[in-house]
Amino acid sequence: MNADTIPAWLPQLVFFTSYGGNWFRYLEAIYRFFHQDFVQSRPFSRGVPLGLKRHPMWKGMEATFWHMIQEGLVETDRTPDLRRCERIRWPRLIIENSEESAIKVWENERKGETRICLWFEDQEYLVVLARRKNTLLPWTAYPTLEEHRKRKLRAEWEAYKRLMPPR
């Protein structure tokens, strides 16, 4: 992560230690941020309104929230990831600022569905949106710290750029 390239619009991280290491207080706090950003108000991405994947609700919190703070391949066996939790305030602002040159935006197909990737490479963070008929759904968001993941994302971005007509 490059501290020199942090834009003024990107909020500070929300640290577990700021809540006395109490998981329940921390979870409540990060959920409040998510709720403000995606439930109480609706962001737009390049003029398209965002919906929200609410179900399955778990502990009264939307599915998208859990996808943004947990990792794991098996839906029922995902575990919290503090790096994801710390960045809970980032997804909305990356979505809203996706026209910034530092954010790489491309579409791809995943599991037969169109996904829009918003990769803030300098900050090693990816937001994934799912395209629906008249809306976009925030699907997940996570740090991209592993070199193999960065290589894969760079390759996807380069392939997408080659397919797009020049401006």
DSSP E strand boundaries for the chain: 44-45, 48-49, 70-71, 79-80, 103-110, 113-120, 125-131, 136-143
Instruction: pLDDT tens for the chain, 167 residues: list them.
Output: 656 668 999 999 999 999 999 999 999 999 999 999 999 988 888 888 888 876 677 788 888 999 999 988 776 778 999 999 999 999 999 999 999 999 999 999 888 888 999 999 999 999 999 988 888 999 999 999 999 999 999 999 999 988 876 65
* CA–CA gap between residue 20 and residue 75 (Å, rounded): 29
pTM, rounded to two decimals: 0.90
* CA–CA gap between residue 155 and residue 148 (Å, rounded): 11
* CA–CA gap between residue 147 and residue 140 (Å, rounded): 20
